Structure 1
Amino acid sequence: MLDLFLYNWQVRDDWFKWCEALSEEELRKERIGGVGSILKNLYHVIDCERLWVHHMQNKPVISTDFSSISRLDEVMAYAKETRANTEDFLKHWTSEDEEKRLELTNKKGVSYSFTYKKVLLHIITHEVHHIGQLSIWSRELDMKPISTDLIFRDFM
């Protein structure tokens, strides 16, 4: 599992570098698809990672309100803090943890039960999904997207 998180973090870092070529206005510009803007898309995957890992750690699930974030460096700082927590969680991961269950009840009173393994796989694929949206937007900006080709990345 850690390897796929390392892959996602490496791709995310490359997107952060890619974003440095854009103005803050372009990063915040509302777009079709994803969660609305490049900055929001990046923030969203980080916030979801934090939420799910905090659930598995039995920590309070407190996310930063996106409206308080308006700059790339703020999203990058949020990513750094979230990654440190997730890395610590994964470093202590054992095969026995895979079958632990996360029990949740949503605001409508509907209960869910997921294995920790499924939650981690969800976090990984959720980010891959949203990174695809960034690739589409980069093409709309006539810019080359970040390569997500796992086979040619050195992250292990």
Structure 2
Amino acid sequence: MLQHEYGWVRQTRGTLLDFCGKLDPNHLTHTNGFGWQSVRDTLVHIADCYVAWLGSFVLLKIKKPLTPREELHNLSLEEIIARFDQVDTIVYELLELHGHKLNVLIEEEIPWREAPELLSITPRKLLLHTITHEFHHKGQIVAMLRQMGYEPPNTDILGTED
């Protein structure tokens, strides 16, 4: 995965975040009964996945990568966008530091798990996991938005600019 391809991921994310900025504020936190329950909570979960797997597990930079439940309910869309800015910094740092060794196994304990759990995996697989995870949950967000009566934008990579 190169920086150019990650740029496509960022474009689709930006499309969705821009759309979320136009929502009725109550709809950002509306409980939808599936997934992570709300658009806000799902967006935070997406960002947390990148921060945990890439920032904490691979780069070993972040000790507590997951947003605590008690903080989650206070997050604004602007703070979520800032969290995705942090995600971009982490991904670009990963590509810079590990770009030539994305296929080299890392064996570490998963830092945020309470019970020690050793994992052996490559940075490439974790990068791909975080990206596919994002698209999976973006699909859920789009479904939530449709349930609330919105017509969400296309968030497919095929709709991005080269």
- What residue number does 1:135 align with? 142
Q: Does 1:65 align with 2:72?
A: no
- Report the TM-score when normalising by structure 1: 0.86
Q: What is the distance in 2 between the residues matched to 1:29 and 1:76?
A: 19
Aligned residue runs from structure 1 range 14-53, under 5 A: 14-53=15-54
**1:98-146, Cα deviation, whole Å (9 max, x unpaired):** 2232422543444221111111111111101100101111211222222
- Aligned partner (choices 89, 106, 112) of residue 84 of structure 1: 89
Aligned residue pairs, count = 155
Instruction: Give 1:95 shift.
Output: 3.1
Q: What is the distance in 2 between the residues matched to 1:132 and 1:85?
A: 23
**1:137 maps to amino acid:** M
Query: What stretches of structure 1 of length at least 5 have no aligned partner?
Result: none
Instruction: Give 1:38 shift.
Output: 0.3
- Report the TM-score when normalising by structure 2: 0.83
- What residue number does 2:127 align with? 120
Instruction: Give 1:13 shift.
Output: 1.2
Q: What is the distance in 1 between the residues matched to 2:159 and 2:12?
A: 12
Contact 2:16 2:155 in 1 (8 A): no
Instruction: Give 1:66 shift.
Output: 4.8
Query: What stretches of structure 2 of length at least 5 have no aligned partner?
Result: none
